């Protein structure tokens, strides 16, 4: 969030944003599942200009041994930005930002992953941001959800994530880079498919009414994303009718 150049209009009088979207529209999303042969589950996701690759490994014996939990699996989430993913080269290695994103994203999944089924093991979620254009943590959570399902990790449901923000004084869904840079607030959210919130963060200032309005938008956005996620997984896992009848 930085000072907006005076002549820059992010939303026209007709309510259109710089990329042509209306306030309540998400950027186009494309998902491929099972793209990494060495991972137990994987997903490649494009959302607007964001490009995210996720590999899931496990449940597998947790190392080092002292990290094991006798009563459940440990869930580890590593968010990493490739140095070429942003305009000015991102410094390789963990940063305060990536450590924070990894922590809140792991916590976003903990309520749905049935870790108690796999004592002493680890479930590793590796996120590589290949191209960043605002909203990478939400994009990574959407991709991780698919990769976890692809890995066959038992979950109570999928996690879906989307941000809202305030731009030119208006509440809008899913900020793009210009809106993230010059907007007044950014508010990422993740939720279960029943609408239970598992991640909430806020950068900037919003009134309680604006948050209420934004959460309504996010619910709509997450519903659309869930439908995309479910369609991708259905396509991957549904057994074609012919195969069933052949085996019978
Ligand atoms: P998110 O990507 O989840 O929206 P931020 O709000 O922290 O997370 O970042 C917004 C955007 O700023 C990122 O998507 C990326 O385009 C850009 N960005 C983040 N970190 C860096 C960095 N180290 N160097 C350059 N650009 C960055």
Q: For the segment 90-99, what is each residue's pLDDT rounded down to a tens digit? A: 999 999 999 9
Q: Atom 10 of ligand 1 has which residue's CA nearest to it?
A: 134
* Ligand 1 atom nearest to CA at 137: 3
> How many C-beta neighbours within 10 Å does residue 180 have?
18
Query: Hunting for tokens 């590796």 — which residue is that?
Result: 126
Q: With 60 as the cut, is the pLDDT of residue 112 above it?
A: yes
- First-to-last alpha carbon distance for the chain, in angstroms, is 60
| CA gap 243, 234 in Å, rounded | 16
How many angstroms does the Cα of residue 242 sit away from the middle of ligand 1?
47
The strands making up 74-81's β-sheet, listed across from edge to edge, are 29-33, 41-47, 50-61, 121-131, 74-81
Q: Which ipTM was obtained for this model? A: 0.98
Instruction: Record the tokens describing residue 221, joined without a space.
Output: 């956005």
CA of 63 to the centre of ligand 1 (A): 31
- Which of 132, 190, 202 has most ligand 1 atoms within 8 Å of CB, for mutation? 132
Q: How many CB atoms lie within 10 A of CB 107?
A: 14
Q: Is the pLDDT of residue 19 over 60?
A: yes
Pocket test for ligand 1, best of 2, 26, 46, 86 (most atoms within 8 A of CB): 86
Query: What pLDDT does 247 receive?
Result: 57
- CA of residue 90 to ligand 1 center, whole Å: 10
Q: pLDDT by residue (tens digit) across 139-184?
A: 999 999 999 999 999 999 999 999 999 999 999 999 999 999 999 9
Tokens of 185: 């607030």
For the chain, give the mean pLDDT.
95
- For the entire predicted model, the pTM comes to 0.95
For residue 3, what pLDDT is reported?
82
In terms of DSSP bridges, do strands 29-33 and 41-47 run parallel, antiparallel, or are they unpaired? antiparallel
Whether 128 contacts 54, CB under 8 Å:
yes
pLDDT score recorded for residue 244: 64
Q: Which atom of ligand 1 is nearest to the CA of 91?
A: 23
Q: With 90 as the cut, is the pLDDT of residue 120 above it?
A: yes
Can you give the pLDDT at residue 239? 75
Answer for the pair 237, 37: CB distance below 8 angstroms, yes or no.
Answer: no
- Compute the distance between CA of residue 147 and CA of residue 36 in angstroms, rounded to an integer: 10
Pocket test for ligand 1, best of 50, 102, 134 (most atoms within 8 A of CB): 134
In angstroms, the CA 58 to CA 161 distance is 23
Q: Which residues line ligand 1 (CB under 6 A)?
A: 86, 88, 90, 97, 132-137, 177, 180, 186
Q: How far is the CA of 32 from the centre of ligand 1 (A)?
A: 23
Please state, as a whole number, how many other Cβ atoms lie within 10 Å of the Cβ of residue 7: 5
Which residue's CA is the closest to the ligand 1 atom numbered 23?
A: 90
**Ligand 1 atom nearest to CA at 139:** 3
């Amino acid at each position: 969030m930085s000072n907006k150049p005076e002549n820059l209009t992010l939303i026209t009088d007709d309510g259109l944003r710089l990329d042509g979207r209306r306030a309540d529209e998400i950027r186009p999303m494309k998902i491929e599942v099972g793209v990494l042969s060495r991972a137990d589950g994987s997903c490649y996701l494009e959302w607007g200009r964001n490009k995210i690759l996720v590999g899931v490994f496990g449940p597998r014996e947790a190392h080092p041994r002292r990290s094991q939990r006798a009563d459940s699996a440990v869930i580890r989430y590593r968010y990493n930005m490739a140095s070429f993913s942003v305009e000015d080269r991102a410094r390789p290695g963990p940063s305060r930002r990536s450590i924070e994103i990894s922590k809140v994203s792991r916590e976003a999944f903990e309520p749905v992953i049935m870790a108690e089924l796999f004592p002493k093991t680890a479930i590793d979620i590796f996120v590589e941001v290949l191209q960043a254009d605002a909203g990478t943590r939400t994009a990574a959570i959407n991709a991780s959800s698919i990769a976890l399902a692809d890995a066959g990790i038992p979950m109570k449901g999928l996690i879906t994530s989307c941000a809202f923000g305030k731009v030119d004084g208006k509440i809008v869904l899913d900020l793009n880079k210009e809106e993230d840079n010059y907007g007044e607030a950014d508010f990422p959210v993740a939720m279960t498919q029943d609408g239970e919130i598992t991640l909430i963060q806020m950068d900037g200032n919003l009134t309680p009414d604006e948050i209420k309005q934004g959460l309504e938008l996010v619910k709509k956005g997450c519903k659309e994303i869930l439908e995309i996620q479910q369609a991708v997984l259905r396509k991957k896992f549904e057994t074609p009718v012919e195969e069933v009848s052949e085996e019978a």
